[in-house]
């Protein structure tokens, strides 16, 4: 009966700090997407990492700190993906998204690319959908993040919409609303519809005024 060493939780070996941090962010992303920030406990996250809560807290200074880390990580990933899609040189896009999108981009193509990417990562879409609603409350730790994000997106889209219409903010807002709306319906029943196809049909309507019928 005398087990010598106290041994690590389960059979999981120590991980280098960087790898552990990566794992924690991935697990937290997944769980927060499922249940929202208030619906997840540090215990839940620690369990899925094969850690105790204090073990988890050596890598993240608090629960709120963990949420911030998750959101920052998403920005880094998104910026990387955008850079790849648009070509590195002209798109600066640092971690806070810089001041806008490059002017040479076509709005309709950008939207289509975004929806195509989103269709491949429902978990991330869900993370943002759930947190966007939860963080409407001004005291929510992600409130400012989402306020800023929405302001940025509205401005950037409107700038790109200028070559379509003289009311670019209006088109920008309709586009964002339609994208968000289609996404939440898709999340509720992913089998029922094809997000990309659904967007394509909607885009035809939204952009119809601005394209020459063939």
Which residues of the chain form contacts with DNA (CB under 7 A)?
6, 8-9, 14-17, 20, 40-44, 50-55, 57-59, 61-64
Please report how close the Cβ of residue 125 comes to DNA at its closest, in angstroms: 24
159 binds, among its own copies, DNA, none (CB under 5 to 8 A by kind): none
Please report how close the Cβ of residue 180 comes to its own copies at its closest, in angstroms: 4
Is residue 191 involved in binding its own copies (CB under 8 A)?
no
Is residue 129 involved in binding its own copies (CB under 8 A)?
yes
Please report how close the Cβ of residue 193 comes to its own copies at its closest, in angstroms: 8
8 A C-beta contact, residue 143 and residue 48: no
Shorter beta-carbon distance to its own copies: residue 76 or 170: 170
Is residue 111 involved in binding its own copies (CB under 8 A)?
no
41 binds, among DNA, its own copies, none (CB under 5 to 8 A by kind): DNA
Secondary structure of the chain as H, E, C letters:
CCCCCCCCCCCCCCCCHHHHHHHHHHHHHHHHHHHCCCCCCHHHHHHHHCCCHHHHHCCCCCHHHHHHHHHHHHHHHHHHHHHHHHCCCCCCCCCCCCCCCCCCCCHHHHHHHHHHHHHCCHHHHHHHHHHHHHCCCCCCCCHHHHHHHHHHHHHHHHHHHCCCCCCHHHHHHHHHHHHHHHHHHHHHCCCCCCHHHHHHHHHHHHHHHHCCCC
Shorter beta-carbon distance to its own copies: residue 57 or 178: 178
Is residue 94 involved in binding its own copies (CB under 8 A)?
no
208 binds, among DNA, its own copies, none (CB under 5 to 8 A by kind): its own copies
Q: How far is CA 116 from CA 11, 47, 113, 187, in A?
A: 39, 33, 5, 14
Residues within the interface to its own copies (CB under 8 A): 34-36, 38-39, 126, 129-130, 132-134, 136-137, 140, 146-147, 150, 170, 173-174, 176-182, 184-185, 187-189, 193, 198, 201-202, 205-206, 208-209
């Amino acid at each position: 009966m005398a087990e010598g060493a106290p041994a690590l939780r389960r059979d999981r070996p120590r991980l280098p700090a960087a790898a552990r941090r990566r794992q924690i962010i991935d697990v937290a992303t997944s769980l927060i997407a499922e249940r929202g920030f208030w619906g997840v406990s540090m215990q839940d996250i620690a369990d899925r990492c094969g850690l105790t809560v204090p073990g988890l807290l050596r890598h993240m200074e608090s629960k709120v700190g963990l949420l911030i880390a998750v959101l920052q990580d998403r920005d880094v990933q998104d910026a990387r993906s955008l850079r790849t899609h648009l070509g590195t040189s002209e798109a600066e896009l640092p971690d806070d998204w810089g001041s806008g999108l490059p002017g040479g981009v076509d709005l309709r193509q950008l939207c289509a690319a975004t929806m195509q990417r989103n269709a491949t990562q429902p978990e991330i879409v869900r993370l943002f959908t759930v947190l966007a609603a939860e963080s409407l409350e001004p005291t929510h730790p992600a409130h400012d993040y989402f306020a800023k994000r929405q302001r940025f997106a509205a401005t950037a889209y409107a700038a790109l919409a200028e070559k379509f219409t003289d009311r670019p903010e209006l088109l920008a807002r309709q586009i964002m609303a339609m994208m968000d709306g289609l996404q939440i319906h898709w999340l509720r029943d992913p089998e029922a519809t094809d997000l990309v196809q659904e967007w394509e049909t909607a885009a035809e309507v939204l952009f119809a005024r601005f394209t020459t019928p063939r």
